[in-house]
């Protein structure tokens, strides 16, 4: 390659020799046209047999780039990734190996080179606008009873438990208000527990507890850890079944304990209310009734969840085959295992799981039934109080009606007195006994009118 001094201040001629392609001429000439000013318009590149191409090159940087021609080379892929506006490096890079053939390829791939910067910019924008994955602070309890606290993001949680993103929604603490219904979801490698304030993921070797500082998590830990300590001393159920039983036990115990605390208070209110009606007692009855409604709702939801789980043998068998080389037949849901012993163990565990669920279902139904009875008693007491208050309001209304009748009779007498009080002569004022006769007539007439109206109201059963 040789540089020919420009015949004019706006012309630079570059001669490039190529030996890689025998079909091309031994030398190729490039002509660069431009202005020496710093803010000049783009240069023009002319090659024999090729049209003029615009090249964005500043004259001030051209000398520096020409010095680097012998030390820097570009491959075909590099030039394909360059923007549409070519620079002086493209002119120099074409004479390293392929010469004019690479420039022909460069013209053919100009369309792809236009889109490459847009793709690169969009990918960088997507990286800069990436969504942060939520990080959960969980309490990890292993099968040997070791307890540790760790922070784990969603991707790591899905990878370690083999779950899908939609499965995490049932135990996600941020969705506590929307996923308040109790549920036990069985997946291939994990069981998701959502029982009130307890959110946990039970796996073969450990269990992850979300929001372990809440009452549900603390009650679950108080129930699970003693069972794990006893589990190390002898044979017992698999770890995930121990976790499920501990979760159900802690939940039912909390419901039963709440019912035991509420029952004596409601009974005392029911005994006291017929004799004494005060604002404080009525407020206590309202609060107790509201608590009973909430307790019935939670016990009823847990009972319905257990009923649905017992009526679905497919879910129970999926619990039994967790961690084993077993599958379920489609259509029949029969257990198929590679070893006959594993199939026998899975069938035994299925019976144990059904008995376990039946036990907690009975306890939950008992709690729900007792809460409903107390709630019915509270509602009956409210009805009795309403009737009592209505009877009292009726007595008050009768008294008001009697007073209104008496007021009417007195008003008639006042009307007669007002008539005689006018300063008009009626010649009665000259009689000596006119005053006494008029007064007696007003009194007797008022009394007679009162008894007549009273008798009418009693006949109509208004009073």
Question: End of a domain among 182, 205, 235?
Answer: 235
pLDDT of residue 369 exceeding 90:
yes
Residue 329 in any domain: the answer is: no
What would the pLDDT profile of 142-181 be if each residue is shown by its tens digit?
Answer: 988 899 999 998 888 888 888 888 888 888 888 877 777 8
Hey, which of 30-39, 51-60, 218-227 has the most confident mean pLDDT?
218-227
Q: Give me the chain's average pLDDT, please.
A: 74
- Domain with 454 in it: 394-458
Whether the pLDDT of residue 246 is over 50: the answer is: yes
Q: What are the φ/ψ torsions at residue 72 (nearest 5 degrees)? A: -130, 135
**Residue 425 reports pLDDT greater than 90:** no
Structural domain count of the chain: 2
Is 415 domain-assigned?
A: yes
256 in any annotated domain = no
Is 210 among the domain residues? yes
Q: Could you tell me if residue 387 is inside a domain? A: no
Give me the pLDDT at residue 315, please. 85
Determine, yes or no, domain membership for 242.
Answer: no
Domain final position from 188, 204, 235: 235
171 is a domain residue: yes
Give the end of a domain, one of 205, 235, 265: 235
Per-residue pLDDT band for 292 (boundaries 50, 70, 90) equals very high
Task: Give pTM, 2 decimals.
Answer: 0.61
Find the mean pLDDT for residues 371-377. 92
- Region 210-215: mean pLDDT is 90
200 in a domain, yes or no? yes
CATH code at position 208 = 2.40.128.330
Looking only at the bridges linking them, the beta strands covering 135-142 and 43-47 are unpaired
């Amino acid at each position: 390659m040789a540089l020919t001094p420009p015949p004019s201040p706006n012309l630079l001629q570059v001669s490039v020799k190529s030996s890689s392609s025998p079909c091309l001429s031994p030398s190729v000439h490039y002509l660069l046209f431009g202005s020496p000013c710093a803010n000049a318009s783009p240069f023009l590149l002319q090659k024999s047999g090729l049209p003029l191409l615009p090249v964005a090159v500043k004259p001030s940087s051209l000398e520096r780039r020409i010095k680097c021609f012998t030390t820097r080379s570009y491959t075909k892929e590099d030039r394909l990734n360059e923007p549409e506006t070519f620079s002086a490096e493209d002119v120099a890079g074409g004479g390293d190996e392929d010469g004019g053939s690479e420039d022909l390829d460069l013209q053919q791939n100009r369309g792809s080179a236009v889109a490459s910067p847009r793709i690169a910019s969009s990918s960088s924008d997507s990286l800069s606008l990436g969504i942060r994955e939520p990080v959960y602070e969980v309490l990890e309890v292993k099968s040997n009873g070791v307890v540790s606290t760790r922070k784990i993001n969603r991707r790591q949680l899905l990878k370690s438990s083999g779950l899908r993103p939609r499965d995490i929604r049932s135990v996600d603490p941020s969705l506590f208000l929307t996923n308040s219904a109790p549920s036990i979801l069985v997946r291939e490698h994990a069981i998701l527990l959502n029982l009130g304030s307890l959110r946990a993921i039970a796996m073969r070797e450990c269990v992850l507890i979300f929001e372990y500082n809440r009452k549900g998590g603390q009650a679950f830990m108080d129930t699970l850890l003693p069972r794990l300590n006893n589990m190390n001393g002898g044979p017992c159920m698999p770890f995930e079944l121990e976790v499920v039983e501990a979760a159900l036990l802690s939940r039912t115990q909390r419901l039963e304990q709440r019912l035991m605390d509420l029952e004596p208070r409601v009974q005392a209110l029911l005994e006291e209310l017929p004799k004494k009606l005060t604002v404080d007692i009525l407020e206590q009855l309202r609060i107790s009734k509201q608590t009973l409604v909430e307790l019935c709702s939670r016990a009823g939801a847990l009972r319905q969840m257990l009923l649905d789980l017992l009526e679905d043998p497919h879910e129970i068998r999926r619990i039994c085959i967790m961690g084993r080389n077993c599958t379920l037949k489609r259509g029949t849901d029969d257990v198929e295992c590679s070893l006959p012993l594993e199939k026998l163990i899975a069938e035994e565990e299925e019976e144990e799981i059904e008995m376990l669920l039946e036990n907690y279902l009975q306890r939950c139904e008992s709690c729900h039934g007792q809460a409903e009875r107390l709630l019915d008693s509270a509602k009956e007491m409210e009805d009795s109080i309403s009737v009592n208050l209505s009877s009292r309001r009726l007595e008050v209304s009768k008294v008001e009606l009697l007073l209104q009748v008496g007021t009417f009779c007195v008003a008639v007498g006042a009307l007669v007195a007002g008539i005689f009080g006018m300063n008009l002569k009626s010649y009665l004022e000259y009689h000596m006994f006119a005053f006494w006769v008029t007064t007696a007539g007003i009194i007797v007439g008022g009394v007679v009118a009162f008894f007549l109206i009273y008798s009418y109201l009693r006949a109509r059963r208004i009073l």
